[in-house]
Amino acid sequence: MSLIRLLQKEIPATVLDETDLFLKAKSIFPKINFRNFEANQLLEIQKTYGIDLATAFLYDLIRNRSESTSFYKKLESFAPESGNFGKIKGKVLVVPAGLYEELPEYAGDGSLILSIAKKFGLEASKIPVLSKGKISENVKIILDTIKKEKEPLYVFSFSKGSSDFRVFLESYPEISSKVKLWISICGVHKGLHLVERFVGNSKVKNFFSKSLLNVVGIPLEFVSDFSLQSELLNQSYSIPKHLKTVSVVGFPIESHLKGTIRGRYQYLSRFGPNDGITLLLDAILPESKIIPVWGADHYFRSPKISNLLHQIFHALQKGWLF
């Protein structure tokens, strides 16, 4: 091994010809659209062509062969640099990601959302969920917060915050009527395959996992809520009929990733296209408008993000999300 290689801190995945990747993706199952698409077809594509092409296929299917396709042209027609921000009536509430206090560099507290909301004349605040709280604890905090608010409310949730809010909707449908729009960003809505490495039916595994998590100050319950064995998130769910939803989903391939999330992505790849934490299909709310973000991972870091969030608020102001 050369000295140059030994000095290299990280070896990235080889850059792909992504133009060629999308050309190939368009040729697979050309008569299928997102409405009649089935999840097992995605695994069939991955088995035959690999995960990069399966990810590009799903992205192309949503962008060009779904009910949201015409929406993207309107969304992307707004240039935030114009500075023409219309005024919106109502209030934005943000449900932060898990560990948003311990890992502030990922902006899981929704600070960027809050600052952009104010440009559009909206009141905006963060729901003070517990950074390391169990879903049941955070549901109560969401309930107490929304009880005090006046409609219309527009909720943005990040990662685990989407789990917290999903369970709130199921638990308190009578209160949820105040919420007119829910935008889930890289949302975790179902159990996680990653968690099975830490918790499960084994008492020995749980003991060592609890000991390890205690060292970094994370309760085992924070993780076990997302076990595939848990009934909390591993059941079919529906969204209240009055509530309009948007799923913003990162679509990375391995060459887009680095650091620890790349390792998680590699592990999850056996189960299908993913964002490094959750499977892409699991991140999509039923019957929602879907905004796929090519190259973004679960941490939602991309040069496109600020523009996209401005465009989402513009779409809200124009009524395109309803």
Q: What is the pLDDT of residues 30-84, one digit of tens each?
A: 999 999 999 999 999 999 999 999 999 999 999 999 999 999 999 999 999 999 9
Residue among 92, 106, 95, 247 at smallest CA distance from 157: 95
Can you give the pLDDT at residue 222? Answer: 84
Own/partner long-range contacts of 60-67 (Cβ < 8 Å, ≥24 apart): 60/22, 60/25, 60/26, 61/32, 61/33, 61/34, 61/37, 62/34, 62/290, 62/292, 63/292, 64/26, 65/32, 65/33, 65/34, 66/33, 66/34, 66/35, 66/290, 67/34, 67/35
Residue 2 pLDDT exceeds 80: no
Residues 121 and 269 in one domain: yes
Residues 132 and 183 in one domain: yes
For residue 78, give the CATH number of its domain. Answer: 3.40.50.1820
Residues 92 and 168 in one domain: yes
Residues 183 and 248 in one domain: yes
- Express as a percent the part of the chain with pLDDT over 70: 91
Residues 184 and 267 in one domain: yes
Domain boundary among 235, 258, 293: 235
Question: Which tens digit of pLDDT belongs to each residue from 87-119?
Answer: 999 999 999 999 999 999 999 999 999 999 999
Q: How many residues does the chain have?
A: 322
Residue 2 burial by CB count (10 A; 0-12/13-18/19+): exposed, middle or buried?
A: exposed
* Residues linked to residue 29 through DSSP beta bridges, in sequence order: none
Residue among 121, 123, 119, 122 at smallest CA distance from 83: 119
Over range 4-9, report the average pLDDT.
63
Where is pLDDT greater, at 162 or 9? 162
> The domain containing residue 202 runs over which residues?
190-235
How many structural domains comprise the chain?
3
Residue 158 pLDDT exceeds 90: yes
Question: Which tens digit of pLDDT belongs to each residue from 178-233?
Answer: 999 999 999 999 999 998 876 655 554 554 454 555 555 677 778 889 988 888 89
Can you give the pLDDT at residue 128? Answer: 98
Q: How many angstroms separate the CA atoms of 48 and 288, rounded?
A: 29
Residues 121 and 45 in one domain: no
- Whether 4 is in a domain gets the answer no
Can you give the pLDDT at residue 198? Answer: 67
Can you give the pLDDT at residue 235? Answer: 81
Residues 129 and 203 in one domain: no
Residue 284 pLDDT exceeds 80: yes
Cβ distance 24 to 60 under 8 Å?
Answer: no
